[in-house]
């Protein structure tokens, strides 16, 4: 049991530089819980919040949703990223940022829709 939702702890979303930034958007949590329930497997957060300095160090966009606590890069056990990407695009056709990568899926709760 998580401390901010049924399956997630705030620490999973914390900036990896150790600065303490750990803001998480409630809508983002709902989306990731939806992924968790749909596939019925654990979902890991490989990158959540990023302070501006850490975001710059990892090559993130200056306008990254990670800096706002509105983005996460996720991996689901035993589920190919392509399947997660298809799920998100079909269940949220007019919203979310969904980044399709070979080893993970980026999801964010920006206003509007973005795909890459």
Q: What is the mean pLDDT of residues 74-89?
A: 97
Domain boundaries, the chain: 10-110
Rounded Cα gap, residues 10 and 98, in angstroms: 22
CA angle, 19 then 102 then 114, to 5°: 70
pLDDT digits (tens, 9 = 90+) for 9-46: 999 999 999 999 999 999 999 999 999 999 999 999 99
* CATH 3.30.1380.10 corresponds to the domain 10-110: yes
The per-residue pLDDT for 106 is: 98
Q: What is the mean pLDDT of residues 69-90?
A: 98
Q: What is the pTM of this model?
A: 0.95
Q: What is the mean pLDDT of residues 87-104?
A: 98
The answer on pLDDT for 1 being more than 90 is: no
Rounded Cα gap, residues 61 and 40, in angstroms: 32
């Amino acid at each position: 049991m998580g401390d901010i939702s049924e399956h997630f702890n705030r620490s999973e979303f914390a900036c990896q530089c150790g600065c303490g930034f750990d803001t998480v958007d409630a809508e983002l949590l709902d989306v990731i819980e939806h992924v968790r329930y749909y596939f019925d497997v654990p979902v890991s957060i490989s990158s959540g919040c990023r302070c501006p300095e850490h975001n710059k160090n990892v090559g993130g966009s200056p306008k990254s949703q990670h800096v706002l606590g509105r983005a996460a890069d996720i991996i689901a056990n035993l589920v190919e990223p392509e399947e997660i990407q298809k799920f998100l695009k079909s269940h949220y056709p007019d919203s979310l940022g969904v980044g399709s990568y070979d080893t993970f899926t980026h999801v964010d709760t920006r206003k509007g829709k973005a795909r890459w």
